Chains A and B, each alone.
Chain A
Amino acid sequence: MNTAASAVRTYLIIWGWLAGLMLISVLLSSLPIPRATVILLVLALSSVKALLVALYYMHLKMDRRLLILVALFPFVLITLALGVVFSSAFVRL
């Protein structure tokens, strides 16, 4: 029962972090700071939120490594695809 109560507490703490990070993102986007900095910070915060959901709510932190590999595999493919897309979109030969 203690383990269950501890898990529920963790879920609620993560909810607090997710809501807090979201509000920080909204705040950042309205501050008079350089656009590139805002984009970098807001996307970094989104990545942290996604990681929190994956690790704690989807239980990747406690699950088998195979599932982590399955979850990470598409990101490797996307990185490769984005590399091709961005190189052709922004590099003029």
Chain B
Amino acid sequence: MEAQAHAAPASTATGIPNGKLGIWVFLASEVMFFGGLIAAYIVLRSGHPHWPGPEGHLDARLGTLNTLVLICSSTTIVLALAAAKRGAKAAIRRWLLVTVLLGATFLVIKGFEYHAKFSHHILPSTNVFWSCYFVLTGFHALHVLGGIAFNLVVLAWTFDPVSWSARGHRLELAGLYWHFVDIVWIFLFPLLYLL
């Protein structure tokens, strides 16, 4: 176990570090973004008597597996944060790497799903359900990709004592973003696959 002392963020008028407050405001804007898309999906769905249409449903088994993968990744990144609090750098690296791999697994499974649909000539233009499906899951996948990149940057900082000392506290911000991505999927999964 290596002792890790990273620079404490400067004190602020709110008592909350600026970076942390900033990421929460950013996440609030993201809630509005996905909230709008999900609301549009619900309204469109309510107005269509035959949903999702003759092209068939999504495979709930793959959706369930992907949900489990994201839930596990949320746990592993919070374990990385717990490791950071006790100064265990090896554990931080291990949990961050597992988080990144789980995120990549999610994208690979999603890629298989997309490939299966494309090979059956199911495209965003097929009908309104598939338009919604590709828009919602596509934007979500882009957010997963962004989260993986953020986690990889934090992982890289753990190998450089100077960077870790100056920026190590941003692991918490990466975690907050990752949990948000998980929460979005927690709602997308039942809406698209189960209901």
By a beta-carbon cutoff of 8 Å, the part of chain A in contact with chain B is 1, 4, 7-8, 11-12, 14-15, 18-19, 22-23, 25-26, 29, 38-39, 42-43, 45-46, 49-50, 53-54, 57-58, 63-64, 66-67, 70-71, 73-75, 77-78, 81-82, 85-86, 89-90
The interface residues of chain B lying within 8 Å CB-to-CB of A15 are 71-72, 74-75
Q: When chains A and B are docked, how far (Å) is the Cα of A89 from the Cα of B60? A: 29
Chain B 173-195 per-residue mask, 1 if CB under 8 angstroms from chain A, else 0: 00110011011001101100011
Within 8 A of A (CB), among B129-174: none
Interface residue? B10 (CB, 8 A): no
**Interface Cβ pair total, 8 Å cutoff:** 115
By a beta-carbon cutoff of 8 Å, the part of chain B in contact with chain A is 14-16, 20-21, 24-25, 27-29, 31-32, 35-36, 39, 43, 46-47, 60, 64, 67-68, 71-72, 74-75, 78-79, 82, 85-86, 175-176, 179-180, 182-183, 186-187, 189-190, 194-195
The interface residues of chain A lying within 8 Å CB-to-CB of B86 are 1, 4
Show 18 residue pairs from A and B whose CB-CB distance is below 8 angstroms, ordered by the A residue. A15-B75, A18-B74, A19-B71, A29-B60, A29-B190, A43-B190, A46-B189, A50-B187, A57-B75, A58-B175, A58-B180, A64-B16, A66-B21, A70-B28, A77-B32, A78-B35, A89-B47, A90-B46
**In the complex, what residue of chain B is closest to A66 when comparing beta carbons?**
B14
